[in-house]
Amino acid sequence: MLVECYDERGAEVYEIIIKQIFQDLVLGASVDDLKAYVNPDDPVFVLAIKMRKTSTAVKFEDVANLSYDKANDKTMILIDNENYLPNILKILWMEFSRDEIYQPNRYQLELNGDHTDLKSVVVDDPHSNLQRRIYDAIFRILPEGFKIIKDLSTEDIVTVVATDELIKDEWIEKAHEYIDELNNGK
């Protein structure tokens, strides 16, 4: 972790704040590296966070068996992994009303019609979940009042430039510099 600031004490304080927020959100093990630039004289905060690799997205077909009963015109969903049941129900409730989903037990769901196309629907995306948690941390870390934010994130590096003024090109260059350094393991 690098917190860059002309004021050594200010850098230490921000490092403590960042560590505390990461501890509160249990993000420490999910982040490879972090670089921050703070300049109170030129109100800017640049933060780049490299995420660790996550497992691949989980699809319906990975955690449930879907079959269509043509005679009864019903799609049967048998849950293989109960851990994903809340996600499955959430997805189904967004697509169908709760009255359209029949659940005779914890491991079985039924829908009227042929809905076997649900097999390819993503039930859980660890990368997206981690990214969302990191954005949550960033918005807790940013100084209050820094409402002008430019997101420069890439696939595995979440990067923002925040200020209470117009964003300067040199700040964006600093963010790109951090992205390059994190990509190259510096």
What does the pLDDT look like over 14-60, one tens digit per residue? 999 999 999 999 998 899 999 999 987 889 999 999 999 998 999 99
What gap in Å lies between CA 132 and CA 57, rounded to an integer? 15
Model's pTM, two decimal places?
Answer: 0.80
User: Would you say the C-alpha torsion 135, 35, 3, 39 has a positive or negative sign?
Assistant: negative
Using the Cα atoms of residue 78, residue 83, residue 85 and residue 91 in order, give the sign of their dihedral: negative
What is the chain's mean pLDDT, rounded? 92
| Domain extents in the chain | 2-54+126-183, 58-124
| β-bridge partners, 74 | 69, 112
pLDDT at 40: 78
Pick the CATH number of 2-54+126-183 from 3.30.1710, 3.40.1350, 3.30.70, 3.40.50: 3.30.1710
